[in-house]
Amino acid sequence: MRRAFLGIDCGTQSTKVVLVDAKSLQPKVIGQAPHQLIERDDGTREQEPTEWIGALIAAARAIPRDVEVAGIGVSGQQHGLVCLDADGDPVRPAKLWNDTTTAAECVALTERLGGPGRVLALTGNTFLPGYTAPKVEWLRTHEPERYARTKRMCLPHDYLNLWLTGEYVTEPGDASGTAYFDVRSREYSGAVLGAIDDVRDWHATLPPVGRSLSVIGGLREKAAEALGLRAGIPVSAGGGDNMCAAIGIGLTAEGAVGVSLGTSGTAFAYRAAPALDPKGEASAFCDSTAGWLPLVATLNCGGVVNWVLALFGVGTGDLRTALRSSPPGANGLAFLPYLDGERTPNLPNGTGSFAGVRSSHRRDDFIRAAVEGVTFGLHYAFGALRRAGVHDEAICLVGGGSQSDEWAQLVADVIGLPVRRGIAEAAGTGAALQARWVIDGEEPIVTTDGGWQPRPDPALEEARERVARLRDLAIGGAL
């Protein structure tokens, strides 16, 4: 039988399972099942945790019977708050990373702890609406009965690991995205947790923090039966999706920056020591090996592009045509893509805006302006990474948008760095490779393909400046 490692990637839109061959390290997506998203105009973005289990079971049906699964790793969407009662059942839907209802709680917690500087000193991160800490504060304030019923609070990947193994544990990479975790000491911050609730037994509520490169347990009988696998398969600690994606594209040493063009946009890089942005725009995360992973995120990326494509009744196959038809700068059309608010910069109530619209503009101009707008957002976010001490040499591009050669070239042109393309399913692959690393004791060597060199274009520079002016207006409250 072929020996392989199973990576589970629980994302916003679906759960995927990836098999990575133990020798060749070649990944293959073998199953996928969708999730339903609960969304409201107030910024609510939630999902039922039990749907993740159902999606995993459905996706795992495609696992070939001639494969020996030697280990399992789980990658999960970061920051989501999963609340469990005394029986281990979800108390309510999980509030997700892109939920923006907690802006007031961010302000309240920051004031309670003495201001942004004090918060940065405590954990290395400020409070952003996407993080877990303000979600806990929101639950305590808005749903006190559910808060009282909650006996355990964990992250999506922790919840899946609990179902797989029966072990309630987390690891530093995903835990560092909660904003109640000190990234330097790799421990929960008692000061932040006390500011949220100084009576709750946080030791019993939160999962213990174990090592990232470790086996947390074996696949329990009930989960094995549901997945069609043998009981006892070792399950590694796993991590957040960005942390696992870093492993999947080989960012386990300093040099390249990973950029993901998914529903959201992210950029991240390995550091051997804690990397803190003095302004707090770059997240000071740990990675899911034994290092650190400074990261910037923009809420608006591939989701915005898909929204514009849907407005015109076209699909992703028309993206190439639009980017070739409309010239750099979209014939003077500019788009600020804050359809769901924004995280970098921190504008949870921000809105989108087209500017410079003329009757001469056509469909392809609007599509190009959308792609340029989200890419300029990543350019802004790179400034925060560099403040955190990241010395970028090249970009490794992943995510659904990375499959577009035209968009890959635009990233090279806008950021001004060479671009290489990594594997499309980096998070699930990284989770599987982490399991292999722990079980077989071999750090993976990952290669990339493709290659685009930056081609500076004055029209793109002018377009970036137009969007920057729109962003400045939004930051100033005029948009």
**Residue 456: what are its φ and ψ, rounded to 5°?**
-55, 135
Strands 67-76 and 2-10: parallel
Say whether 87 is catalytic. Answer: no
Strands 265-268 and 292-298: antiparallel
Q: Please give the single-letter amino acid code of residue 146.
A: R
Q: Determine whether 17 is exposed, middle or buried from the number of CB atoms within 10 Å of its CB (0-12, 13-18, 19+).
A: buried
Q: Cα separation of 136 and 158, whole Å?
A: 16
Q: For residue 462, what are the contacts with CB-CB under 8 A and spacing of at least 6?
A: 329
Quote the tokens at residue 411.
Answer: 């990233």
Residue with tokens 């193994």: 165
173: nearest Cα among 204, 209, 206: 209
Residues whose CB falls within 8 Å of the CB of residue 336, separated by 6 or more in sequence, listed in order: 352, 353, 355, 373, 467, 470, 471, 474, 479
Rounded CA separation 292/184 (Å): 9
* C-alpha 273 chain-centroid distance: 21
| The one catalytic residue among 174, 182, 241, 365 | 241
CA distance 60 to 178: 29
Strand partners, 90: 84
Q: Which amino acid is at 402?
A: S
Yes or no: say if 152 and 142 are a contact pair by the CB < 8 Å rule. no
Q: Are 156 and 132 in contact (CB under 8 A)?
A: no
Are 318 and 367 within 8 A, CB to CB?
A: yes
Mention every residue, 6+ apart, whose C-beta is less than 8 A from residue 75.
7, 8, 9, 10, 157, 238, 239, 240, 241, 243, 244, 245, 427, 428, 430, 431
| Residue 447 neighbours by CB distance under 10 Å | 10
Are 159 and 78 spatial neighbours (Cβ–Cβ below 8 Å)? Answer: no
**Strands 352-355 vs 334-337: parallel, antiparallel or unpaired:** antiparallel
Which positions are catalytic?
Answer: 241
